[in-house]
Structure 1
Amino acid sequence: MTGGSQNYILETRGMCKSFGGFQAVEGVNLHVAQGTIHAMVGPNGAGKTTCFNLITRFLDVSKGQIIFDGKDVTKRGASHVAKDGLVRSFQISAIFPDMTLIENVRFALQQRRMPAMNFWGSAARLSVLEDEAMQLIEHVGLGAYANQRAATLPYGRKRALEIATTLAMEPKVMLLDEPTAGMGHEDIERITEVIRKAAVGRSVLMVEHNLRVVSELSDRVTVLARGQVLTEGSYAEVADDPRVKEAYLGTAA
């Protein structure tokens, strides 16, 4: 996507993070365009998770800026940026194994829509969110399991439920950290489609090791190596870059 910074929903400008004498992230400039799926990839130890923790404010930035929706959020707390619409999937902590799927999603909606309401409030008061919770469950392909306990779901469907609770927070940017990790082929296909549907009307930033998933979903890819941006472009562009092959394989192709 071309154009000025007004097209970017999320930017980092010279973002750095050091732990003592170790520079984990150095000068990362990231540009996530409005309405796109942007992947962040790189070999182990490249700094991807640290970048996620900085962007979602679980870690403080040593140097640089984070701009979200046109505002500097570098100093804002994790809960505040989540309420602003910059939401990482695990921030919800709403996957309660002994609750049904619809109860899980309804509770996530409650957090967003009725923050002052007591969790143990009457069923009648919570029922106003029932229809919307069901819509979200159906959106991620779990409608048939709405009244099952979350603990009974296989791993891939639990990840889909996690995405549903994330969507309940009405994210402008949804951050997904290795959404297909540990999944078999069938679950990967299911979650890939869930992410594609979830991205409609919002932006997604994801860390993902499965490069086939990255190639199918991503509009733009940023490659990190040793805490720095190695290159950025379409999947085809970065996959053909000799520096990327060297970072992954250890030798230039």
Structure 2
Amino acid sequence: MQFTKTTEQDSKYDHLDKMSINELLTNINNEDKTVPFAVEKAIPAIENLIHEIVQRMKNGGRLFYIGAGTSGRLGIVDASECPPTFGVPHEWVVGLIAGGDTAIRKAVEFAEDDTNQGWLDLQEHKVSTNDTVIGIAASGTTPYVIGALKKCNEKNILTGCITCNQGSPLSKVSVHPIEIIVGAEFVTGSSRMKAGTAQKLALNMISTATMIQLGKVKGNKMVDMQLSNHKLVERGVKMIMSELAVSQETAQRLLKKYNNVRKAIENYDKKNR
């Protein structure tokens, strides 16, 4: 199969600079509406990868995201949300970006073109065969990501990827490739748009489903979330009230005592059996 970058194809819209604001917003939104359907087609591939991730994490493994530019930032965002949302250690899910932390806010020139640095960055975290490494690259051609996954394969470290081009070099070096084909962008080549949205949706699926499978959600509640602000404390109180059918005062007392929704619920149950 010949590799074609659909993410680089010309937009089906032209004369964007002549459009009104309403026309711009309507057309962008019309394109965005197509993204969830593209993600839906990739669900079997996403599911297969999650099965492998969960198995490894149950055995002490970690999940790594590695990317450059927008793709790298999306991985870092998803990784950074796991500890406060699910109460897991920061080392469980790690996001790496070409150019290091500086590149989160400001592009580092040519960082993504280094085929060796991705593996060096992973080695700083002592990546092992228990871990899973997911390369994120809309184009599927980023040397930083491809080089890292090639080395992981050599070391028997499970690899996956999220890309928005079919049959890309990145897919070919991934044991579990996820290809979400969103087509040409509204602004030609601007893969931070539909491609970025698709990657974010896939990352939501991967981290959320994995954490649920690891027991970090009870019913539909984030019972292990970190109580890092008043909003989350209030949410925790409501969870305890709902789960135990107790008053707000009792729920507040339990949460203050245990500083964790799950522990508050479990210890209240034990006390009253």
- Normalised TM-score (structure 2): 0.28
Which structure has more relative contact order (CA 8 Å, sep 6+)? It is: 1
> Greater Rg, structure 1 or structure 2?
2
- Normalised TM-score (structure 1): 0.29
